[in-house]
Protein backbone atom coordinates (compact mmCIF):
# COMPACT_ATOMS: atom_id res chain seq x y z
CA UNK A 1 0.00 0.00 0.00
CA UNK A 2 3.06 2.26 -0.02
CA UNK A 3 5.27 3.21 -2.91
CA UNK A 4 8.65 4.96 -3.21
CA UNK A 5 8.21 8.66 -2.42
CA UNK A 6 5.17 8.19 -0.14
CA UNK A 7 5.03 10.01 3.19
CA UNK A 8 4.21 7.77 6.15
CA UNK A 9 2.65 9.31 9.25
CA UNK A 10 0.69 8.27 12.30
CA UNK A 11 -2.05 10.37 13.88
CA UNK A 12 -0.40 13.68 13.05
CA UNK A 13 0.49 16.09 10.33
CA UNK A 14 4.25 15.55 10.56
CA UNK A 15 5.49 12.57 8.54
CA UNK A 16 7.38 9.83 10.37
CA UNK A 17 9.37 8.82 7.31
CA UNK A 18 9.58 9.26 3.56
CA UNK A 19 9.81 5.99 1.63
CA UNK A 20 12.45 6.20 -1.09
CA UNK A 21 12.64 2.51 -1.94
CA UNK A 22 10.92 -0.69 -0.92
CA UNK A 23 13.64 -3.34 -1.27
CA UNK A 24 15.97 -3.40 0.55
CA UNK A 25 14.55 -1.21 3.30
CA UNK A 26 16.26 -0.22 6.53
CA UNK A 27 14.15 0.29 9.66
CA UNK A 28 15.19 1.97 12.90
CA UNK A 29 13.48 1.04 16.16
CA UNK A 30 14.04 1.21 19.88
CA UNK A 31 14.39 -1.73 22.24
CA UNK A 32 13.89 -1.91 26.01
CA UNK A 33 17.15 -1.25 27.87
CA UNK A 34 16.91 -4.55 29.76
CA UNK A 35 17.04 -6.42 26.41
CA UNK A 36 19.99 -4.45 24.98
CA UNK A 37 22.79 -6.47 26.62
CA UNK A 38 21.34 -9.75 25.31
CA UNK A 39 20.97 -8.29 21.82
CA UNK A 40 24.58 -7.07 21.82
CA UNK A 41 25.87 -10.40 23.16
CA UNK A 42 23.96 -12.53 20.64
CA UNK A 43 24.60 -10.27 17.67
CA UNK A 44 28.34 -10.68 18.25
CA UNK A 45 28.12 -14.40 17.51
CA UNK A 46 25.49 -14.52 14.73
CA UNK A 47 23.06 -12.51 12.65
CA UNK A 48 19.80 -11.95 14.50
CA UNK A 49 16.58 -12.41 12.56
CA UNK A 50 13.97 -9.66 12.74
CA UNK A 51 10.43 -9.44 11.46
CA UNK A 52 8.49 -6.23 10.73
CA UNK A 53 4.71 -6.23 10.51
CA UNK A 54 2.00 -3.66 10.07
CA UNK A 55 0.19 -3.03 13.32
CA UNK A 56 -2.83 -5.33 13.41
CA UNK A 57 -1.87 -7.18 10.20
CA UNK A 58 0.73 -9.88 10.91
CA UNK A 59 -0.06 -11.48 7.55
CA UNK A 60 2.10 -8.92 5.72
CA UNK A 61 5.37 -9.50 7.55
CA UNK A 62 8.81 -8.69 6.18
CA UNK A 63 11.85 -10.61 7.44
CA UNK A 64 15.43 -9.42 7.69
CA UNK A 65 18.50 -9.32 9.90
CA UNK A 66 19.65 -6.89 12.57
CA UNK A 67 22.62 -4.72 11.59
Tell me the residue range of the domain where 21 lies: 7-65
pLDDT by residue for the chain (67 residues), tens digit each?
Answer: 666 776 666 666 666 666 666 677 777 888 899 999 999 999 989 999 988 887 777 777 888 888 8
Domains identified in the chain, total number: 1
Specify the pTM.
0.50
Instruction: Give domain status of residue 25, yes or no.
Output: yes
Instruction: Give domain status of residue 12, yes or no.
Output: yes
- Helix, strand or coil, per DSSP, at residue 14: coil
Of 50, 52, 28, which Cα lies nearest the Cα of 39? 50
- Helix, strand or coil, per DSSP, at residue 38: helix
Instruction: Give domain status of residue 51, yes or no.
Output: yes
Amino acid sequence: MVHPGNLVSANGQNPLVVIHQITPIFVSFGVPEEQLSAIRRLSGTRKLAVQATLQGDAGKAASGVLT
